[in-house]
A and B are shown apart, each in its own frame.
Chain A
Amino acid sequence: MTVLRTRGVTVRFGGLVAVENVHFAVEPRQIYAVIGPNGAGKTTLFNAVTGIYAPSEGVVELNGREQVDPLTKLMVLRFVVAFVSIGIGTAIAVNIETLWTATIVDHYTFAQPFPWALAIGEFWSTLWNMPRTDSLIPLVLGGAVGCAAAFVSWWRGRRAPDHIARSGVARTFQNIRLFNELSLVQNVLVGMDHRMRAGFLSALFRLPRFFSERRKFHAEAGQLLEFVGLGSRADNAAGSLPYGLRRRLEIARALAGKPTMILLDEPAAGMNPSEVVDLMALIRRVRDAGTTVVLIEHHMRLVMGVSDRILVLQYGKQIAEGTPAEIRSNPKCVEAYLGSEDHG
């Protein structure tokens, strides 16, 4: 199954077209590179894939499913529940003084036990018998607002990055975004969070589940740090890492969620040649472990060295797609990337 497929993805910011009509497909266990001059729209494309920006047009498919959640019956049911509960809540809140008087004040005397059944019956009959303007208008208005709010929150969340990350797409950032005040292990554990199951109560009461899960994931985080070569610094703060190693930590954090696909945004930026060689080896190891890799990179030796296929963007448009050999021999790409070098 194709891991990632875009069909005619376009992203506009106001009048500016950052990405225009891009089609490409990434197969499982490929290393796929996106290249292009600065400002070609590579990062914007990544952001559209991971849900940070919504594509203005076109479709992104992840593992054969559309990136956007369809409106399910369960969701519609949720809107109905929101309408009913918030509507009734509003109607009660607006008339609370009348209702309280009718149910509590009118029936309560210090001497006798309180007639609960009578009071509850009185509550509903008061609500039912009051002027329709007092009960029905708040009910409908409040319900409509609640229903609309539930819809808006669903609409905004249906392409949310968290949702996409949970479906197995992890990423790193061009301008590294680590949690600097947390330790390396903690950073990796954040990436594992959506695989954990122990909830609020097991943390609060330290139930056995909490401990078993903590043991399991701590061990795994340690292994992952070893895998990227940071095992000896596991308890340092992420902010104290040298620049080159931060990218490795970001990769470890992205791998922590056991993604089917990992998007690397300029992983070699600012690295010296020997670090780049190490990085190439790491990327291959990630792929060999079963994860599809999509990367944005300017470092041509790395791109040509590791990629299975390459997509070339220029001014937001796709100008070529193919194997490294095809790209190397494509005159349009050579011109776009190397400028007028060939023409003297």
Chain B
Amino acid sequence: MRWRPGPIFIILALATCIPLLDQILPVELQLSEAVRGVFLYAILALGLNVVTGYAGLLNLGIAAFMAIGAYTFGILTCEIYPFQLGFWSALGLTIPIGALAGFILGAPTLGLRGDYLAIVTLGFGEIVQDVLKNLDVVTKGTQGINPLPAPTFGGHEWTADDEYKWYYLLLALLVVTVIAIRNLERSRLGRAWFSIREDEIASRSMGIRVERIKMIAFATAAAIAAMAGGLSASILSSTGEPSNYDFQISILALCIVIVGGIGSIAGVLVGALVMVGLNSIVLVKATAWMAAHGIGSQGNVLLSPNNWKFLIFGLALVLAVRLKPSGLVPPRIERAPQ
């Protein structure tokens, strides 16, 4: 069979050129810094896509697993705790710990009807924030854990100036995630996920162990989200406060999956570009521009672009489901699991 570059490959190949663009263009766009956020959320949304896109289970608490990853990373690396692991080993540990958290939440709840799961995960998202806030002996409460180390390569640690290194590290991790998920998608496991999404009773009657297969999807998603959390903590050099991982983040990830194309990796990448582009590029730049021109500095709520976030997310979901239910880049049937 002749190899044709698929849309995923093209998107990722284009992404390698962005830092170059930053240097060529005369204006100070700082594209690569913004695109970093796209990569991070793409990783998170790829995780959500496993559970929501493939297995058809609505998970509204993906941000909680991101928080668990971030705090795990923080506790394992920060100098105020005795563990003090390096970047790579701590990031590696976020994955099994995220999976374990997914298992603990999933074990009692995955036997339920799908819509109950949505509310349980939503509640979990809120509770994890509460717990992190309340356990301030362990988590430093609302201060967040900082400072956190950056990655080290060949013995020296990166500094904030290593803009492009960060960019390519995130891109590389995104590529690894894409490959891993594609391998799972095109295997017996992916097929079982698809079959459960389509007809749970029929799958069960064919001998698919539904609870176990759902659990693997749930734990995989949690593990990927936790890794994204660890990465984001490392980029910011702080876990931030617990409310940084609130419902908004989960919904942003859901928007990426729904708008981009549910169950499609290329769709998630495009969705991440569109939604994160809107959220942390257009809105942020608009706010900066308005501040520079003295519009809406205070007072009127309508004049602060940030206040439109919920509306944009909400409309994106409602309109996407209504007008383009399979998303911008729908999954291709003949490319379904091999």
Chain A residues packing against B (C-beta within 8 Å): 50, 52, 96-97, 100-101, 104-105, 107-108, 110, 114, 116, 119, 149, 153, 156-157, 160-162, 165-166, 170-171, 173, 177-183, 186, 189-191, 193-194, 196, 198, 200, 203-206, 210, 214, 235, 237, 253-254, 256-257
Contacts and interface: CB of A to CB of B under 8 A. Distances in A.
Contacts of A162: 204-205, 207-210
17 contacts: A96-B135, A97-B137, A104-B81, A157-B211, A162-B207, A170-B206, A173-B202, A181-B333, A182-B198, A183-B336, A186-B336, A189-B191, A190-B206, A193-B191, A193-B208, A194-B206, A206-B183
B198 A204 contact: no
A179 B83 CA distance: 49
A190 B204 contact: no
A193 B192 contact: yes
B75 to A, nearest CB: 10
Nearest to B263: A181
B216 interface: yes
B338 interface: yes
A181 B198 contact: yes
Interface string B208-237: 111100001000000000000000000000
B interface, how many residues as a size bin? 35 or more
Contact of B195 (A108, A173, A182, A203): A182
B194 A210 contact: no
B81 A190 contact: no
Given A104-B82, A165-B204, A203-B187, A183 B138 contact: no
Given A96-B138, A162-B209, A182-B191, A214 B338 contact: yes
A235 B334 contact: yes
B18 interface: no
A179 B195 contact: yes
Contact of A203 (B135, B183, B194): B183
A149 B108 contact: yes
A200 B183 CA distance: 10
Contact of B194 (A52, A157, A179): A179
B114 interface: no
Contacts of B118: none
B180 interface: yes
Contacts, number: 120
B334 A193 contact: no
Given A105-B137, A179-B194, A193-B191, A160 B333 contact: no
> Lowest 5 A-B CB distances belong to which pairs?
A203-B187, A114-B82, A165-B207, A194-B207, A177-B202
A214 B190 CA distance: 13
A171 to B, nearest CB: 6
Nearest to A214: B338
B201 interface: yes
B189 interface: yes
A108 B75 CA distance: 13
B116 to A, nearest CB: 15
A63 to B, nearest CB: 15
Contacts of B108: 149
B337 interface: yes
Most chain A beta-carbon neighbours within 10 Å: one of B82, B334, B338 = B82
Interface of B: 79, 81-82, 108, 111, 135, 137-138, 180, 183-184, 187-192, 194-195, 198-199, 201-211, 216, 333-334, 336-338
B199 A177 contact: yes
Contacts of A206: 183
Given A105-B137, A189-B191, A205-B183, 9 more contacts: A100-B137, A156-B111, A165-B204, A173-B205, A179-B199, A191-B207, A203-B183, A210-B187, A254-B206
Given A96-B135, A179-B194, A190-B208, A198 B199 contact: no
Contacts of B190: 203
A214 B186 CA distance: 10
Contacts of B202: 173, 177-179
A213 to B, nearest CB: 8
A182 B199 CA distance: 11
Contact of B204 (A104, A149, A161, A214): A161
B336 A50 contact: no
A107 B81 CA distance: 10
B204 A177 contact: no
Given A110-B79, A161-B201, A203 B206 contact: no
A168 to B, nearest CB: 9
B205 A52 contact: yes
Given A52-B201, A206-B183, A253-B206, A183 B137 contact: no
Most chain A beta-carbon neighbours within 10 Å: one of B81, B191, B199, B337 = B191
A205 B179 CA distance: 10
Contacts of B184: 200, 203-204
B111 A180 contact: no
A81 to B, nearest CB: 13
